[in-house]
Structures are given as structure tokens and as C-alpha cells.
Amino acid sequence: MGLLETDELEALSAQQLHDRAVHYAVHHGDLGFLWELLTLIPAAEASTGNEEQTASDLSRVSALLSDAMASGHGELGEALRPFYIEYLSKHPEA
């Protein structure tokens, strides 16, 4: 796809950023990114005012894995936009 500038990434929706970043990480076996995403989800949930989900995420690894695959939607996706942009900026081929 070629090199994407941060401005171009900023123009994408949270869902588009999520889909590209997660697809790239899964395709390239970037477990570091996926793990970091999982660790960021509880704080992102908290930032959206969803404290109950935060507690659930912290206590259940399966919830985190599920969240990682859907973390591009809605307010959660918006809260994670900077993380996706940073990752995609480092991997312009994504």
C-alpha cells in the first residue's frame, strides 16, 4: 500500500485503524503489539466511563482477547486511535 503519513492515518476511522493494525499484527505474528493492545484496553474502557467493563477485562483474559478483536468499534475504538496510528506509522506496509 505504500508509506502512510500520520495525517493520512488520522483521517481513517477508529475501526479502519483497528482493522489495519490488528490484521497486520496477526499476519506478521506481532504478539508484542497484540499484547500491548490487550493491556491498553482496560484503561481505554475506563476512559469511556465503563468501569464495570474495566474490572471484567482485568479479571478475564478471555474478555481481553475478545475485546482485542472488536476494539475498533465505538468509543473504545476512538480511545485507542492514537495507539493504532503510532503502530501503523511504524509499519507503513500495513
DSSP code of 91? -
Whole-angstrom Cα distance, residue 85 to residue 18?
A: 9
The model carries a pTM of 0.60
Q: Would you tell me how many other CB atoms lie within 10 Å of the CB of residue 58?
A: 14
What count of Cα atoms within 13 Å lies in the side-chain half-sphere of residue 68?
Answer: 21
| 87 contacts: CB under 8 Å, gap ≥ 6 | 21, 24, 25, 33, 94
pLDDT of residue 50: 76
pLDDT in tens, 18-71: 999 999 999 999 989 998 988 888 888 888 887 777 766 666 666 667 777 788
